[in-house]
């Protein structure tokens, strides 16, 4: 094995394992832990750990015993007490969506090439694939989507006889760890196979999908189902035929239902051909506008997958109002581990704080699942930046228990991964806990987002999306910046329940980190601490760079305690992060200075 440490002890997974219970036994044996296992299938993912005169016992469903074994081993390795008691996951579906293409590239991937595909075919690196399934199961992830939701024409073949035997082989390997596979499908696929339309209400289309489903499940009876991006960023969808998204999703759901399959249907639907002059259309409103009225119209095997914020994985967004409605529809929240807008696994950005804030606004029982866009690939440490592993680890744990302490989760990951203790443990944990705020300070200010370089999305370009068709405008001019999303402006605010409307309506009480998301304000606007808006922007950006440097100094103190290769990778990236932070600071501050003509009070520009 030639990859770097992760939170599991290195071990080659034996090919002979056949079930999660066997995997659980093997995990325990690896670490010389004696524990009786009692499989009670009806317990599913849940487990109970008890300690008695005969020793400790894990009772759980077929997958539950495996999750219990990992939990027990985590605690043991870091010297925590035996985690006695009953545990069940908060969400039944804990999904990881890969945006992997068959040629081996990964859309928005920052961790090397695809784990699953290579040069138009499936990877044959079975030790690595088994290790990956093991890694995911150790944090309770139970569904993996193999391929990019932007389904390339050749990827349609994943659900043809050409590739189904290979999907089946992989599904079997992953099932040993309780992980089921899902595939992204193209809504218009019948068109490529001789059907003259993809209209969901057309009998021929329905028959085609029924037959396809039968074929798929003949090969892969355990397949979780389909993930679908439709009518989104030029992908085909039901709107082309004047049909609703419920009609579109139900077409596939009815075909999969006899086999127990599900349709995970994304709500990322908006007009990506907007005229920037149009100030009435407001992109964050789109998901709600397209879906909220469809509540109750979906088949019961449809799960609507909604991005956590109303835009698109920006550094800071409020909760998507769509997550708070549709009580009669199964919903999953989508987060993005791959750091497209959050530093691309060069800059540090630990995400759990963001999920905690969203979870705090979500009433219990709102969601049936959570999905994360994967941040993994063939990189030696799985995630490009070794510390980006934390986001995958924390995602898995959050799906079991939302709002567990960010600090505890981070410490646990750092202890398991690098066996750190004392000051180094504290140093790494503190750096990671602060990383999001630091990144936020030097990038787009106060909830604006989108000041990134178009296309690849790394580095600053304040006007990069301003005159584009993507609907992502900050509308900065010489007087003011931001979009008024209250009822006086676009009316986006009204999509929220009253308590959240009240939180965001008034600039004087709106959380400052989201101020410019909800409001358009003049540069002289007084912030709560008495500074002007523009001075705050300047100060934040200066602080962001200063804090990045401080973080770098702290991380340098870890050089002796981290494995050399890990430290080298971290340090190379840290240097790039400092350069990036300086670039952001200078570009953003100068941008606002040139527009407004307002000098920095401390004359630093």
User: Phi and psi at residue 187, in whole multiples of 5°?
Assistant: -60, -30
Provide DSSP, 486-543. Answer: STTTT-GGGGS-HHHHHHHH-TTTS-GGGHHHH--EETTPBPTTS-BHHHHHHHHHHH
Least gap, CB of 344 to ligand GCV (angstroms)? 12
Least gap, CB of 371 to ligand GCV (angstroms)? 11
Question: What whole-number distance in Å separates Cα of residue 346 and Cα of residue 458?
Answer: 10
For residues 158 and 183, the answer to whether their CB atoms sit within 8 Å is yes
Kindly tell me the sign of the dihedral angle through the C-alpha atoms of 414, 421, 89, 435: negative
Please tell me which residue in 27, 312, 317, 539 is annotated as part of the active site: 312
Total residues in contact with ligand GCV, by rule CB under 6 A: 10
Of residues 328-347, those binding ligand GCV (CB under 6 A): 340
Least gap, CB of 490 to ligand GCV (angstroms)? 21
Question: What whole-number distance in Å separates Cα of residue 249 and Cα of residue 176?
Answer: 30
> In a 3-state reduction of DSSP, which class is residue 24?
helix
Question: What whole-number distance in Å separates Cα of residue 504 and Cα of residue 305?
Answer: 25
Q: Looking at residue 587, what DSSP letter applies?
A: H
Least gap, CB of 164 to ligand GCV (angstroms)? 24
Residue 27 or 340 having the CB closest to ligand GCV: 340
Residue 233 or 356 having the CB closest to ligand GCV: 233
Of residues 65-124, those binding ligand GCV (CB under 6 A): 99, 107-108
Q: Which residue has the tokens 């300047």?
A: 538
What is the number of H-type helices and E-type strands within the chain?
Answer: 16, 16
Q: Binding residue for ligand GCV (CB under 6 A) from 17, 23, 65, 149?
A: 149
Please tell me which residue in 186, 231, 334, 340 is annotated as part of the active site: 340
Residue 95 or 205 having the CB closest to ligand GCV: 95
Question: What whole-number distance in Å separates Cα of residue 325 and Cα of residue 389?
Answer: 33
Residue 233 known to be catalytic: yes
Over the window 471 to 510, marking each residue x when it contacts ligand GCV by CB under 6 A and - when it does not, the resulting string is ----------------------------------------
Question: What whole-number distance in Å separates Cα of residue 120 and Cα of residue 128?
Answer: 18
Write the secondary structure of 249-310 as one string of H (helix), E (strand) and C (coil).
HHHHHHHHHHHCCEEEEECCCCCCCCCCCCCCCCHHHHHHHHHHHHCCCCCCCEEEEEECCC
Over the window 551 to 580, marking each residue x when it contacts ligand GCV by CB under 6 A and - when it does not, the resulting string is ------------------------------
Residue 473 or 525 having the CB closest to ligand GCV: 473
Residue 289 or 437 having the CB closest to ligand GCV: 289
Q: Burial level of 127, CB count in 10 A (0-12/13-18/19+)?
A: exposed
Residue 107 known to be catalytic: no
User: Is residue 306 a contact point for ligand GCV (CB under 6 A)?
Assistant: no
Least gap, CB of 266 to ligand GCV (angstroms)? 7
E strand segments, 121-268: 121-122, 143-145, 180-184, 225-228, 262-266
Least gap, CB of 267 to ligand GCV (angstroms)? 11
Least gap, CB of 471 to ligand GCV (angstroms)? 11
Per-residue b or e along 501-527, where b marks 16 or more CB atoms closer than 10 Å to that residue's CB: eebbbebeebeebbbbbbbbbebebeb
Least gap, CB of 274 to ligand GCV (angstroms)? 14
User: Is residue 229 a contact point for ligand GCV (CB under 6 A)?
Assistant: yes
Residue 65 or 269 having the CB closest to ligand GCV: 269
Least gap, CB of 68 to ligand GCV (angstroms)? 34
Residue 173 or 332 having the CB closest to ligand GCV: 332
Q: Binding residue for ligand GCV (CB under 6 A) from 110, 268, 465, 473?
A: 268
Please tell me which residue in 233, 289, 357, 361 is annotated as part of the active site: 233
For residues 99 and 148, the answer to whether their CB atoms sit within 8 Å is yes
> Using alpha carbons only, what angle is made at residue 66 by residues 2 and 76, rounded to the nearest 5 degrees?
75
Residue 62 or 107 having the CB closest to ligand GCV: 107
Residue 357 known to be catalytic: no
User: Is residue 312 a contact point for ligand GCV (CB under 6 A)?
Assistant: yes
Kindly tell me the sign of the dihedral angle through the C-alpha atoms of 590, 591, 593, 597: positive
> In a 3-state reduction of DSSP, which class is residue 373?
strand
Tokens of 259: 């086999």
Residue 163 or 470 having the CB closest to ligand GCV: 470
Q: Which residues contact ligand GCV by CB under 6 A?
A: 99, 107-108, 149-150, 229, 233, 268, 312, 340
Active-site amino acid positions: 233, 312, 340
């Amino acid at each position: 094995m030639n990859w770097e440490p992760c939170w599991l002890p290195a071990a080659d997974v034996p090919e002979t394992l056949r079930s999660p219970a066997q995997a659980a036994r093997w995990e325990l044996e690896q670490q010389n832990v004696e524990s009786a296992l009692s499989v009670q299938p009806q317990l599913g993912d849940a487990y109970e750990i008890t300690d008695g005169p005969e020793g400790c016992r894990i009772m759980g469903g077929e997958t539950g015993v495996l999750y219990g074994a990992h939990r027990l081993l985590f605690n043991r390795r870091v010297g925590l007490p035996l985690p006695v008691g009953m545990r069940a996951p908060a969400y039944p579906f804990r999904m990881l969506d890969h945006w992997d293409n068959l040629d081996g590239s990964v859309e928005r991937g920052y961790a090397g090439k695809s784990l699953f595909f290579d040069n138009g075919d499936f990877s044959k690196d079975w030790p690595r694939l088994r290790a990956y399934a093991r890694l995911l199961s150790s944090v309770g992830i139970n569904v993996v989507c193999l391929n990019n939701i932007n389904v390339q024409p050749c990827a349609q073949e994943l659900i043809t006889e050409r590739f189904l035997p290979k999907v089946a082989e992989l599904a079997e390997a992953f099932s040993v760890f309780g992980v089921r596979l899902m595939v992204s499908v193209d809504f218009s696929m019948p068109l490529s196979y001789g059907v003259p339309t993809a209209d969901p209400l057309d009998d021929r289309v329905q028959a085609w999908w029924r037959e396809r489903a039968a074929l798929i499940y003949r090969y892969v009876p355990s397949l979780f189902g389909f993930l679908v991006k439709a009518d989104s960023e030029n992908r085909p969808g039901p709107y082309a035929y004047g049909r609703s998204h419920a009609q579109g999703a139900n077409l596939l759901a009815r075909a999969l239902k006899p086999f127990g399959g599900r349709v995970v249907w994304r709500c990322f639907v908006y007009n990506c051909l907007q005229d920037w002059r149009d100030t009435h259309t407001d992109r964050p409103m789109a998901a709600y506008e397209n879906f909220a009225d469809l509540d109750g119209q979906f088949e019961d095997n449809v799960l609507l997958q909604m991005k956590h914020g109303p835009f698109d994985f920006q550094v800071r967004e409020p909760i998507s109002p769509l997550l708070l409605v549709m009580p009669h529809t199964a919903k999953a929240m989508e987060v993005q581990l791959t750091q497209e807008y959050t530093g691309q696994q060069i800059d540090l950005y630990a995400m759990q704080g963001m999920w905690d804030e969203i979870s705090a606004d979500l009433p219990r029982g709102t969601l049936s699942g959570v999905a994360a866009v994967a941040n993994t690939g063939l990189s030696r440490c799985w995630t490009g930046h070794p510390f980006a592993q934390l986001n995958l680890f924390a995602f898995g744990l959050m799906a079991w228990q939302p709002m567990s302490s960010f600090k505890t989760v981070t410490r646990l990951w750092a202890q398991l991964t690098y066996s750190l203790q004392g000051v180094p443990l504290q140093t790494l944990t503190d750096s990671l806990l602060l990383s999001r705020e630091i990144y936020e300070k030097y990038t787009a200010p106060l909830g604006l987002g989108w000041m990134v370089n178009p296309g690849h999305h790394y580095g600053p370009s304040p006007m990069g999306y301003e005159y584009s068709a993507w609907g992502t405008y900050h509308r900065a001019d010489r007087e003011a910046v931001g979009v008024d999303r209250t009822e006086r402006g676009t009316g986006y605010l009204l999509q929220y329940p009253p308590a959240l409307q009240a939180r965001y309506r008034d600039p004087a009480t709106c959380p400052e980190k989201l101020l410019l998301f909800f409001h358009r304000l003049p540069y002289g606007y007084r912030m709560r601490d008495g500074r002007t808006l523009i001075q705050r922007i300047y100060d934040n950006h200066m602080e962001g760079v200063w804090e990045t440097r401080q973080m770098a100094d702290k991380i340098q103190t870890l050089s002796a305690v981290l494995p050399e290769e890990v430290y080298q990778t971290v340090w190379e990236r840290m240097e790039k992060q400092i350069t990036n932070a300086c670039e952001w600071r200078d570009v953003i501050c100068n941008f606002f200075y040139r527009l407004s003509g307002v000098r920095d009070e401390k004359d630093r520009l």
